[in-house]
Structure 1
Amino acid sequence: MADGSASPRRVLLATAGSRGDVEPFLSLAAALRDAGHAVLVAAPDDQDDAGDDVDVVTLGVSFAGLAEALAGGGMRAFREHIRPAMSTVLARVVDEAMRWQPDVIVAHPKLLTVPVVAEHLGIPYLSVELTPVVTPTGEFPAAGVVNRSLGPWVNRLTYRAADLGARMFASDIRAARRRLGRSGEGHLPSPSGSLVAVSPTLLPRPADWPSTTHLTGDWPRRPRPDAGTDGAIREFLADDAPFVYAGFGSMRGGDAAGRAEAIIEGVRRAGLRTLVATGWGGLQPPDRCLGTDVLVVTSVPHATVLPHAAAAIHHGGAGTVHAAARAGTPSVLVPFLADQPFWARLLRRSGLAGPALHRDRLSVDGVHAAISDALDRAPAVHHVAGEIRAEDGPAAASAIVAAVAAGESAS
């Protein structure tokens, strides 16, 4: 493992997606800055509070807006919204890299033009896996591709799904090459390695991963003194009566009102209060179920709120899974899509959570039973929390980035 002692470097961190895709990069940026490196983060428009004195430039697209546009789904939404938005992002990341002239790029796999500009600048780049989707293993399938193990050989094949993006946006990759005066065709350089921002406490390292794949631990945002100081939240937390947090982040769709009502009434039946984060629209509590035991907000800082919660009902995104586990807060998983069923299965196999609930079939009885089950798992979750809190994913990743930028081995 690199010791992070390399001389200062210029690092471009590039990501695209919702809050869960961006906040880990901001955390890594802070760690790199603390190590003396010059850091720039290229991210979507939705980040209104980078914090930590991190320099952020926009990639020109709001993913919150895209989520709303995609509510109707279908190929029309892809053609009219996703394709042009991603074309903008793929072009802008090239522009920012050329302007910044970094020594190394650390990028989300969605940013398919990063290999093009890295090749042009003659610099290395690292891919980031916020959930296991890029590095093949026979131990489990790529998160979000299939929902059960299909055996070692087939499991490894599922990681080829990541190649679909390169084919879908091949014209954008060719355009980036032509803009840089390079041939529009040809093999793109491979990354110098992959940073898997996942806790080894939750996901032990697969035995068949190569040495260039680094399981660093997750990259949580640092708690800020002023985080969660909204008056209503502060007052809610000051009350000693126990509560359940419920929030689905950037998820949306289905009967958001019925879903919220089932959760609130199920929590109420358990004799607990509810703190509801509506997020991008996955929960919309109707007035009829509100009361003095319910607080509804748009979002909360997980590091501030979750340690106080008796349990957390959430979608099972990688960031929220890690935040709840680090806080020692038992989870009730309600997966929607992508990698969320992967985390639900992992927590259930580990004994840290019960069976996942179906997002469109929530009932008061079901939520009540799931909360009771979660509370029984608190001792196991508290034990895991101590192990996760001892990890320092951002520092480990920062040392690897510095070593790769310096041309050293990071294994």
Structure 2
Amino acid sequence: MGAEDLSDLLRELVPQVLGTLIRRYHDFDACEDALQEALLAAVNQWPAEGVPDHPRGWLVTVAGRRLVDQVRGEQARRRREATVVGRELPDARVEPAPDEPDPRDRDDTLTLLFMCCHPALTPASQMALTLRAVGGLTTAEVARAFLVPEATMAPRISRAKQRIRAAGTTFGLPEGEEYAARLGTVRHVLYLIFNEGYTASSGPDLQRPDLAAEAIRLTRGLHRFAPDDGEIAGLLALMLLTDARRAARADADGGLIPLAEQDRARWDTGMIEEGVGLVTDAMRRSPLGPYQLQAAIAALHVQAPRAADTDWPQIRFLYRVLCRIAPNPMATLNHAVAVAKTDGPVAALSMLSELESDDRMARHHRLVAVRAHLLELAGDAAGARENYLLAARRTTSLPEQRHLRTRAARLPPPDATP
């Protein structure tokens, strides 16, 4: 087995093994430490000795022994300290994990994912912990994903685990209404991870393909657990249909290429076919939800042979439905772009006024960038130029800054004469 194949196998096994360990031993931090030692042992031994017949069970056993040794060592230390001060400690037995895992052991990945998306955590902490525990990324890799030092990310992840422990969480899937509410959070966290991978919110790179790929991998796993959930299928379809355009989104220098200017021959047809199939099936047999609607919109974009062939009336209709069943400012912003394509920029500009009073969008660079685009379409070059430059100042993404400044530079300066 090559190094890349081994890495892929171990990354797939990480959440399964960690979930089993937490279910058995309950201590999140100790289980993570034990798993890291087991993974290191696997990296050292498997290339020479071969991958065991039951690699997951091998990792559970090695990590479990490490945990038992650690607990026994701690108990021995406490006994020595108690002897010094003349106290006796009650005898505590520690049962080692069996050499082979119980064949009834289940894959606890989904339970672990729900735990990482605990409502006691902020969305940023949920994302970081999910990437660390379920995605199998190292703390350094998670830190790079958030563009912060590892010394900053490590305490953040540690605090997230402490909050879960303080909330008295037991390792198990929530039930009833709590399950439905937490599932919505799980989907949203995966959606946020993908969005950050597809368009990085800050830094020198337009995209972080590793984050987008990890979000797709985790969502595939969630879809396997709940194949009848139409919104999970819609979310996976949305990711596939969006990521299918990745190769055409940037030029050789990493600059942003707008959708209308992309070379559609570079789009991934396999991902498009899979995504279209998923969302078509989900919309046919499941209650309509926001992820399905967004996936249907993405499908209309990628199914158009040319930008001029895009079915904007249908996209406008779908955005109107989306804004009705799941209102949010970004959906309204995208709806305005679709309205501009069907009814003209003036009609779309009137839709932006309500967003200017929304605290979530008032200072967001995308609101200003869309306004700039609509003003350009309406023939207001000076207003468009001013808003492009304002949007460039507000974004922390260097490729987006360059793109917005380029758009502004293409327009005539304020003192230009016809």
TM-score by length of 1: 0.24
Larger helix fraction of residues: 2
TM-score by length of 2: 0.24
Over alpha carbons, which structure has the higher Rg? 2
